[in-house]
Structure 1
Amino acid sequence: MKVGIVGAGAIGLLTAKLLEDFGHQVLVLQRTKKEVPMLFQTPSGDLEMVSFSVTDNWEDVESVELLIVATKAYHLPAVLPQLRTYPGPLLFIQNGLVSNLVAKKLKETANVFGSVDHGATIQDGILMHTGHGSIRFGGEEKFAYLATELGPVLKWESHIEHVLLRKAALNTLINPLTALLDVRNGTLSENKALQRAVISHYDELILGIPVLEELLSLEDVFDLIKRTSTNTSSMRNDVLRGEETEVDYIVKPLLEIAEKEGRYLPITGYLYELIQSKRGEYDRKYT
């Protein structure tokens, strides 16, 4: 299958490499003419070459059978206008809840949404696959055929909205705290006071968004914290670099979901505003 991927970050390039390994023709679209890694490191440490094509010309992806949008969520407002003439299907695999934004900007386009659980980073010019996971996607049933075409890299998920909500909640419970305190994920389970803070925040989320209690247990939260104990959250990385964060697409949607039901999330709102305060640092750096 001929697949285009918009975004040459770690997740976009990893998706390209995984699809390439299963014989698909992949073209990666990047915003600027920058060098992309030509070396790929597997989770076991083996090095391989990558051979997918890279372009900075939107016209090059017009003929692909599927276009995967793998940019950061905060880049979507700039990217979506470029996609208005693309007939679809479009698969969005951002870290966060972006369906409302996409629906407003691309009313006539066929869209599906996905969640990536693989670990990936780019370090010293090498694309590193740091942990095996999955890419699950879903939406209108008519697009389920893509899982057959692109399996086992992509897997169909009938209730993708629950998968995405669960992931947003997990990120909300972990990322803002680690970013504000400048600590790795594991500190949230090792420090007793931070353990209690996570528990209080979890209790607030399941009271404010009751469906979360069926999707996410407290044990799940601490299991993820322990499994990623040495990791630095993406939000912490963004804050450390003085860059924009994805807080508007991870945390803010949870606040909006609760508010629609007449419920309020004071802890979540407080963390959201603290992360937003870092926006001033980003604005001073880039404006």
Structure 2
Amino acid sequence: MDVVIVGAGSVGLLLGSYLSESGLEVTMIVRREGQANALNNNGIRRINEDGSETISRIHATTSMPTGSASPVWIIAVKYINLQQLLNELDNLQILNPMLFIQNGLDHFGMANATSLPNLAFATVEHGARRLDDNTVQHNGVGLVTIGAGRGDSTIFGIIETAHSDRFPVTRHVDAEFVLMRKVLINCMINPLTAILEVENGELLTNPSCHELFVALYDELINAFPDMKPFLSIEAVSAVCQNTAHNKSSMLSDRLAGRPMEIKTIITAVIEKANELHKKVPLLAMLEKMLYAIEGKGEQL
């Protein structure tokens, strides 16, 4: 096998589809036998932006593969499930090169606290929605950026095999920069879409939504001015436009009754701003609203 993907949500399925299409042998580790059977029997069904469909054949299992060659592992589980997975990998003494794809910032320290010799971190700006156990809808072309972490970063060049106009992949020397840029984009989009229950594109087309979006951008760039050359409002608007019909991960979690990733995205950025003695009152208010929606306001 060339690549192992742990987690078959929207991002895991999208990555698995394009990596398999590029000629790599992909194994996906999932939690349920039903999903494993659907993937093994039918492959990953990807609905492209133009309405066409692509079927990619992969192998799916509910068991952790051990004793194999050294494929790159892509860890695509949600942050809330990451620590349990890391404990399991440690117990099984699996030390393969691992690429972490989670939202927010907290997973950076969590992964670096492991004994994994080679690790990297990636951000995904594509719009994707899982429709069923083996179907993903590609709602908008974005960018996959791989940031170098610990050890040999060249190992993760295998992911660039999938690079194409519809699935661009790039690499960066600094994983922390890559994660910080993405988490700021998340903070400008996710809380507003989750609270207002709108798709990403409405932050541009709805005047009231857009006013809040611009105010949030200005506040965060004022708090982190070093990021301004790398994160213009046009760039964030382009993410909204490219994923116009996509529900943000935070809105999807809210609608599905799952815990929203407030702490690792919103709270983490507020704490970073506090360290710089900068105030982010709008983001702090949105954080309180999100915790209130989850019924966890007392934990603030």
TM-score, normalised to structure 2, is 0.83
Superposed counterparts of 1:125-144, under 5 Å: 126-140=135-149, 143-144=152-153
Contact 2:148 2:173 in 1 (8 A): yes
Sequence identity, in percent?
30
What is the number of equivalent residue pairs in this alignment?
280
User: Could you tell me how far 1:90 is from its partner in structure 2?
Assistant: 0.9
1:268 paired residue among 253, 258, 283: 283
2:81 paired residue among 50, 75, 82: 75
Shift in CA distance, 148/225, structure 1 to aligned 2, threshold 3 Å: closer
| Aligned amino acid, residue 131 of structure 1 | G
Residue 8, structure 1, aligned to residue 17, structure 2: no
Which 10-residue stretch deviates more, 116-125 or 176-185? Answer: 116-125
Which deviations, in whole Å up to 9, do the C-alpha atoms of 1:188-233 show, x marking residues without a partner?
Answer: 2233333222222222212222222222112223333333333222
Contact 1:147 1:156 in 2 (8 A): no
Shift in CA distance, 150/224, structure 1 to aligned 2, threshold 3 Å: closer
Which deviations, in whole Å up to 9, do the C-alpha atoms of 1:224-251 show, x marking residues without a partner?
Answer: 3333333222211211221111222221
TM-score, normalised to structure 1, is 0.87
Contact 1:172 1:250 in 2 (8 A): yes
Task: Provide structure 2 residue ranges, at least 5 long, that are not aligned to the other structure.
Answer: 163-168
Task: Provide structure 1 residue ranges, at least 5 long, that are not aligned to the other structure.
Answer: 282-287
User: Could you tell me how far 1:187 is from its partner in structure 2?
Assistant: 2.5
What is the CA RMSD across the aligned residues, in angstroms?
Answer: 2.4
| Aligned amino acid, residue 141 of structure 2 | H
CA–CA distance in structure 2, aligned partners of residues 112 and 24 of structure 1: 19
| 2:154 counterpart residue number | 145
Contact 2:139 2:246 in 1 (8 A): no
Superposed counterparts of 1:68-217, under 5 Å: 68-84=74-90, 85-97=93-105, 98-104=107-113, 106-124=114-132, 126-140=135-149, 143-153=152-162, 154-217=169-232
Contact 1:90 1:111 in 2 (8 A): yes
Q: Provide the secondary structure at the position in 1 that maps to 2:112.
A: helix
CA–CA distance in structure 1, aligned partners of residues 67 and 17 of structure 2: 17
Shift in CA distance, 19/172, structure 1 to aligned 2, threshold 3 Å: same
User: Could you tell me how far 1:80 is from its partner in structure 2?
Assistant: 1.5
| 2:295 counterpart residue number | 280
Which deviations, in whole Å up to 9, do the C-alpha atoms of 1:36-83 show, x marking residues without a partner?
Answer: 453333333333333211111124586442111011122112211122
| 2:165 counterpart residue number | none
Shift in CA distance, 133/184, structure 1 to aligned 2, threshold 3 Å: closer
Contact 2:70 2:97 in 1 (8 A): no
Which deviations, in whole Å up to 9, do the C-alpha atoms of 1:155-179 show, x marking residues without a partner?
Answer: 3222333232122111111111111
